[in-house]
Amino acid sequence: MTCAAIIVAAGRGLRAGGDVAKQWQPLEGARVIDHTLAAFQDHPLISHVVLVLHADDLAAAAFDDVTCTTGGADRAASVRSGLAALPDPDITHVLIHDVARPCITARTISDVIAALEHASGAAPALPVTDALWTGADGHVTGTQDRTGLFRAQTPQGFERAAITAAHAAHAGNAADDVEVARAAGLDVAIVAGDEDNLKITHPADFDRAARILRGRNGHQTG
């Protein structure tokens, strides 16, 4: 198996605040994007990394051993651009990851790749353990059974040919690549997610990500 990674970084991340998109903001001595890229570039089972950027960021991007390409109007279009930019026709599998998850560990990457030995797709997720409510106008309107519900994470891994075909056939507006894969009938295995694999969305998430990264100094993370 030859596996590459596509890092989706074309969004603007307005909810995270700041003067620039969240992937370019500082985090523990580097930028969010630097931490995310390093996790995949340093992994021994990842042969290549494709970085999908907003058109406004492409000219200023300078990364070693990374293929950069321009994203599209939505996440699915950006993933299709990343798939098209894969440089090696012999790459058989691909992991697709959100740039805003800089605390991804080598262990989670390895677990997803290992699951692809037996399934056409695999992704990390955490089972929902909290009670779930429905609500309207600031009031609880009901409860929701949490049985069989999971909180999805990335990287989401797939056979390259299968996910490329799935994206080409999909109508759009998918929440993630697992939704695209499932619509095409692909089998997607669930691997154990990681509570620390947070997606930076709001300003407070930068502090949490920084604490996670600081806590790993001198400790095994993969």
Residue 62 — very low, low, confident or very high, per pLDDT cuts 50/70/90? confident
- Over 70: is that where the pLDDT of 200 sits? yes
Q: What is the mean pLDDT of residues 187-198?
A: 98
pLDDT in tens, 137-155: 999 999 999 999 999 999 9
CB within 8 A of 157, min separation 6: which ones?
3, 93, 94, 95, 96, 112, 113, 115, 116, 121, 122, 123
Q: What pLDDT, on the 0 to 100 scale, is given for residue 57?
A: 87
Q: Please spell the DSSP secondary structure of 184-221, one letter per residue.
A: TT--EEEEE--TT-PPP-STHHHHHHHHHHHHTTTS--
Is residue 141 situated within a structural domain?
Answer: no
Structure tokens given for 81: 């651009």
CA distances from 220 to 37, 54, 178 (A): 19, 34, 29
Is residue 140 situated within a structural domain?
Answer: no
CB within 8 A of 222, min separation 6: which ones?
105, 106, 107, 109, 110
* Comparison of pLDDT for 56 and 43, the residue scoring more: 43
Q: What is the mean pLDDT of residues 118-125?
A: 97
Q: Among residues 158, 201, 142, 184, which one has the least CA distance to residue 13?
A: 201
Is residue 144 situated within a structural domain?
Answer: no
Rounded to whole angstroms, how far apart are CA atoms 24 and 39? 16
Q: What is the mean pLDDT of residues 19-41?
A: 93
Amino acid making up residue 104: I
Q: Among residues 94, 81, 103, which one has the least CA distance to residue 10?
A: 81
pLDDT in tens, 155-174: 999 999 999 999 999 988 89
Is residue 130 situated within a structural domain?
Answer: no
Is residue 115 situated within a structural domain?
Answer: yes
Per the structure, the count of domains in the chain is 1
pTM of the model: 0.93
What domain range is 45 assigned to? 3-122+152-215
Residue 27 — very low, low, confident or very high, per pLDDT cuts 50/70/90? very high
Is residue 143 situated within a structural domain?
Answer: no
Q: What pLDDT, on the 0 to 100 scale, is given for residue 220?
A: 44
Position of tokens 């891994």?
A: 157
What 3-state DSSP class applies to 117?
Answer: coil
Rounded to whole angstroms, how far apart are CA atoms 188 and 163? 11
Is residue 160 situated within a structural domain?
Answer: yes
Rounded to whole angstroms, how far apart are CA atoms 104 and 181? 22
Is residue 220 situated within a structural domain?
Answer: no
CATH of residue 67's domain is: 3.90.550.10
The C-alpha R_g of the chain, in whole angstroms, comes to 17
pLDDT in tens, 91-112: 999 999 999 999 999 999 999 9
